[in-house]
Amino acid sequence: MGAPVYRGTFGAPQAERLLWRAGFGPRPGEAKALAKLGLDGAVHSLLNPGVEKLVGPRPHDSKGRPLAPADRWGHDHCWWLDRMVRTSRPLVERMALVWHDWFATSNAGVGDQTLMLQQNELFRKHGLGSFERLLLSVTANPAMLLWLNGTENTKDAPNENYGREMMELFTLGANRGAYTERDVREQARSLTGWTSRWSRGRGDYDFHFDAMRHDPGTKTVFHRSGRYAWRDACRLCLSNPKHPSFFVQKLWGYFIPVPPNAATTRALEAAYTQGHELKPVLEIVLKHPALYTGPRMTKPPVVHTAGLLRRIGAGVTTDAWAWIGSLAGQQLFYPPNVAGWDDTRWLDTATFRGRWIGVAQLLNDRRLDPSKGKAPADAQTVLKRALAFWRNPQLSDATNRALLQFAKESLRQAGSQRWKQVQYPVLVENALRQLIAVSPDLQTS
């Protein structure tokens, strides 16, 4: 028996939710266009997007210079944010973000933006392909070799860092009885041999496998013995009976906030074990009724930001997005640790303020000038204008009421003073744009 498929209406609201979960939200008109393809067509188009086209204004930093993602601090974040905003392949970018979280590598430990960008390209290249190829590529990836001490893991002095996290975080999960401390140590031996050269000018370079540094002896992993090396270490994890359940549950969790039921889990595992291919698994997830009829999810901060820019057809015009991302709890290329971001706790009082500042940043170039206010306006009209600025997002009744109450009370402050009657509607419209974008409705999808 396969997994259930969503059979309800697939209109613009459903297409919009799909675009949020499998991308960064719709551009104007995009949800409607996607809905016309029907559920099958829509999911097919996301999974098979063709050659990437970048749509919209080219990015630049606050001084108008082109972004220098390999060189300047923060430009890496802005460069990827721009890609999320302008891409014609939203699911490819969204999966790259998933892999960045899954194989969370931080430039705080790597110290080389070029290597971070190379790793990022891997996530794009293999992001919808096979998990086996992805895992092998990541294991041999220079940024990862530096981050988890792969180049310092030698036959004479094994370093457990990568071997442990490969099992705990990347393939098997902790506390599931999938591996023992002895397996950690043996896997570390299998993974020995990677090295690089170093020079003052270039830093680490020439990453390669050196048989002299590799431990050629017999290792015993998951009760099997052999003269294992790094590829075997990866494949042993993939063939561990506890891997498919770990893998599909973790992947599912990026798209749907409630766990899959038993039948769906079986279908996901069956689709995955055929060849560790990602598309069949993603197809089940993206067509599942729980995605369309289930609860909402908190948007990750960078998805919230990219979505607001897409919504109004804006581009990246400042490098402030990097530190704003950090305040909102998600600076790209700097996950908090190797387990990635905590997707269950995006929002707290500090990160809420970070999101607020992001919205203020976006509105800064678009503020309406109160001295140019022409005529008094009522609360309903001002709210309508502010909603139109964001292309009329669907808001809950409670949110609409709160916004309207704010608008009414503010406009009442104008009293009988003419200048206030003319200027306050403009101030209120500026404020409403801010409040709409930070409302619980737009923080979630």
Partner 1 sequence: MSSRVVCDECTRADLFRAVAGQGLPAIEAGMPMPAGTGLTRRGFVARSIGLALTVYGAGRLGIFDEGIAAAASAPQQPILVTVFLQGGADALTLLSPQADPLYRKLRPNLAVSGGTPFAEDASLSWHPALAPLAQLHGEGKVSVLPAVGYDHPDQSHFTSRHFWEVGATDTRLLTGWLGRYLDVAGTKDNPLQGLSLTGSLQPALATAKVPVAAIDGPGEYDFWTPGVWGEVQDRMLDAIGLLGRVGGDDAAMRTAASVTAQAATLRKQLAPFAGDKIPAPAVPYPTGDSFPQRLQGLAAMISAGLPLRCVALEATGEYDTHASQVSALGPALQTTAASLYAFQRDLEARGVADRVLTLVWTEFGRRAKENGSGGTDHGAAGTGFLIGTHAAGTQVGEFPGLAGGLDEDGNLKATSDFRGVYAALLEQWLSFDAERILPHAKSFARPTLVK
Name which of 122 and 403 has its Cβ closer to partner 1.
403
Q: Is 320 helix (H, G, I), strand (E, B) or coil?
A: coil
For position 371 contacting partner 1 by CB under 8 A, the verdict is yes
For position 435 contacting partner 1 by CB under 8 A, the verdict is yes
Site string for partner 1, 24-63 (x = CB under 8 A): ----------------------------------------
- Closest CB 398 distance from partner 1, rounded Å: 4
Q: What's CA 248's distance to the chain center, in Å?
A: 17
For position 353 contacting partner 1 by CB under 8 A, the verdict is yes
For residue 89, the one-letter residue type is R
Q: Can you tell me which of 224, 367, 378, 418 binds partner 1, judged by CB under 8 A?
A: 367
The one segment of 40-48, 135-143, 229-237, 354-362 that binds partner 1 by CB under 8 A: 354-362
Q: Can you tell me which of 45, 118, 130, 434 binds partner 1, judged by CB under 8 A?
A: 434
Whose CA is closest to 109, among 213, 230, 206, 204? 204
For position 73 contacting partner 1 by CB under 8 A, the verdict is yes
d(CA 10, CA 28): 18
Q: Which of residues 263-322 bind partner 1 (CB under 8 A)?
A: 295-298
Name which of 270 and 402 has its Cβ closer to partner 1.
402
- Closest CB 293 distance from partner 1, rounded Å: 12
- Do the strands 219-221 and 203-209 form a parallel or antiparallel pair, or are they unpaired? unpaired
Q: Which of residues 188-247 bind partner 1 (CB under 8 A)?
A: none
Q: Let me know: does 150 contact 209? Beta carbons within 8 Å.
A: no
Name which of 251 and 327 has its Cβ closer to partner 1.
327
Among positive and negative, which fits the CA dihedral 126, 131, 132, 136? positive
For position 439 contacting partner 1 by CB under 8 A, the verdict is yes
**Sequence-separated (6 or more) residues with CB below 8 Å from residue 273:** 244
**What is the size of the binding site for partner 1 (CB under 8 A)?**
89
Q: Which of residues 90-119 bind partner 1 (CB under 8 A)?
A: 106-113
Q: Can you tell me which of 9, 62, 293, 405 binds partner 1, judged by CB under 8 A?
A: 405
Q: Which two tokens stand for residue 390?
A: 């964001």
Q: Can you tell me which of 49, 56, 129, 370 binds partner 1, judged by CB under 8 A?
A: 370
H or E element in which residue 138 lies = helix 131-139
Question: Any idea how long the chain is?
Answer: 445
Name which of 262 and 365 has its Cβ closer to partner 1.
365
H or E element in which residue 53 lies = none
The one segment of 34-42, 210-218, 284-292, 369-377 that binds partner 1 by CB under 8 A: 369-377
Contacts 24+ apart (CB under 8 A), 384-391: 385/429, 386/429, 386/432, 386/433, 386/436, 387/432, 387/436, 389/312, 389/433, 390/308, 390/311, 390/312, 390/433, 390/436, 390/437, 390/442, 391/28, 391/311, 391/312
- Closest CB 188 distance from partner 1, rounded Å: 9
For position 428 contacting partner 1 by CB under 8 A, the verdict is yes
Q: Which two tokens stand for residue 432?
A: 């409403």
Name which of 5 and 174 has its Cβ closer to partner 1.
174
d(CA 26, CA 24): 7
- Closest CB 1 distance from partner 1, rounded Å: 29
Whose CA is closest to 102, among 298, 325, 253? 253
For position 390 contacting partner 1 by CB under 8 A, the verdict is no
Q: Can you tell me which of 196, 232, 363, 391 binds partner 1, judged by CB under 8 A?
A: 363
- Closest CB 182 distance from partner 1, rounded Å: 9
Name which of 130 and 298 has its Cβ closer to partner 1.
298
Q: Which of residues 138-197 bind partner 1 (CB under 8 A)?
A: 146-149, 152-154, 156-161, 164, 168-169, 174-175, 181, 184
d(CA 423, CA 41): 49
Q: Can you tell me which of 62, 220, 239, 364 binds partner 1, judged by CB under 8 A?
A: 364
Name which of 227 and 345 has its Cβ closer to partner 1.
345
CA distances 40 to 15, 286, 287, Å, are 11, 10, 8
- Closest CB 412 distance from partner 1, rounded Å: 9
Q: Is 113 helix (H, G, I), strand (E, B) or coil?
A: helix
- Closest CB 390 distance from partner 1, rounded Å: 15
Residues facing residue 199 across a β-bridge: 203
